[in-house]
Amino acid sequence: MVELLFFAYRDFTAEPDAILGQIGFGRAHHRVLHFVNRNPGLRVADLLDVLKITKQSLARVLRQLVSEAYVQQTAGASDRRERRLYVTEKGRELAVRLLDLQTRRLAAALKAAGADAERITQTFLLAVIAETDRAEVKRLVSGRRSTVANSDGDGR
Amino acid sequence: MVELLFFAYRDFTAEPDAILGQIGFGRAHHRVLHFVNRNPGLRVADLLDVLKITKQSLARVLRQLVSEAYVQQTAGASDRRERRLYVTEKGRELAVRLLDLQTRRLAAALKAAGADAERITQTFLLAVIAETDRAEVKRLVSGRRSTVANSDGDGR
DNA sequence: AAGTTACGTCAGCCATGTTGACATATTTGG
DNA sequence: CCAAATATGTCAACATGGCTGACGTAACTT
């Protein structure tokens, strides 16, 4: 089981990695693009929370994503220190393309695993996640939510 | 689902990573130690196959594992060019300790996901793995097998 | 004896993580 | 209103673990 998870994760990321490589990006760019795409108006601090990396690491990839026009920043409406992040059309296209590959793979695997596979696998994966993060993840995943999703709210 | 897999994998590796960090090792060492522990007598070439990294990358971590006496090498019985790899007692202890953390986490998650969760999750994960690798993975996981497991056979 | 195989190694590059220190703009609280 | 806290950016330096290319040696095979 331990090994299965290792191999599964490796192959789960392989196709996107290959595409990203062609345009000079890596997995780190993918993660940022993905979460910004899924949660428009995300702030830098939110992203740091989600990815659990340092702002210096994030800055490096974010700078590239912005300078190559995959991601766009605008100052927060109610707090102008914030940089709310949004994907551009170009960014959305890439995000969707990569997400599609992964979604298809997972969908096929769920199909192979039978009728209740989706519910069961979801429960399983959520239970693998550290307890302290589960609430946050639930919000992030199912909600497209509050703290972050509404571009004009004050968040926090 | 895509996100769940990301977070699950991150947390799945977090505890081992923390322990490894304390002794100056990283995830790469873990992977090598793990597969050698599970498949005693593994050859370097087998490991390259499984991990899909270059021999230079492998050499770096393997050298450390050997020099710090976690892994031991002996020339192959029927082909003395081969280096058959085995964990030492020290290596086994570390491998077991790390494996235990991960196994417990997965076991708890399976329990949370219900009765058939194990079978279903296994099927799911296997289906996520690239078709071309599935046979290899199956051998590796369930077998503790032929090509590799018997320390005196000629393999291949 | 020649070629192939299994493995090791040197050298250097790249991506992505880290820490620590400091700058700047903006908001907030006393 | 000013001082402190906050959100973000940035410079510098470093570690890990991938990569390529080139070359060496021992052992097996033909």
What pLDDT digit, counting tens, does each position of B1-44 carry?
A: 999 999 999 999 999 999 999 999 999 999 999 999 999 999 99
For residue B155, being part of any structural domain is answered with no
Helix (H) or strand (E) holding A127: helix A117-128
Domain-embedded: residue B64: yes
Please tell me whether any atom of strand C lies within 7 Å of the Cβ of A22: no
| B105 within domain boundaries | yes
Question: Is residue A90 in some structural domain?
Answer: yes
State how many domains chain A has. Answer: 1
In this predicted model, what pLDDT tens digit does every residue of A74-101 receive, in sequence order?
A: 998 999 999 999 999 999 999 999 999 9
Residue B154 lies in a domain: no
As a whole number of Å, the CA-based R_g of chain A is: 17
Q: What is the pLDDT of residue A143?
A: 57
Give yes or no for CB of B83 within 7 Å of strand C: yes
Residue A155 belongs to a domain: no
As a whole number of Å, the CA-based R_g of chain B is 17
Is residue A96 less than 8 Å (CB to CB) from chain B? no
Instruction: Give domain status of residue B19, yes or no.
Output: yes
Q: What is the pLDDT of residue B149?
A: 32
Q: Looking at chain B, list the stretches that DSSP marks H as alpha helix, in order from N- to C-terminal side.
A: 2-22, 27-38, 44-51, 55-67, 89-112, 117-128, 131-138, 146-149
A contacts of B9 (beta carbons < 8 Å): 5, 9
In a domain, B156, yes or no: no
How many CB atoms are located within 10 Å of the residue B152 CB? 10
Which range marks the domain in which residue A118 is found? 2-149
Query: Quick one: which of A152, A153, A148, A151 has its CA closest to A47?
Result: A148
Report residue A11 as tokens: 């192959």
Work out the pLDDT band at A147, boundaries 50, 70, 90. Answer: very low
CATH of the domain at B68: 1.10.10.10
* Residue B109 to residue A121, Cβ atoms within 8 A: no
Contacts for A113 with CB less than 8 Å, ≥ 6 apart: A121, B120, B121, B123, B124, B127
pLDDT, tens only, B33-80: 999 999 999 999 999 999 999 999 999 999 999 999 999 999 988 999
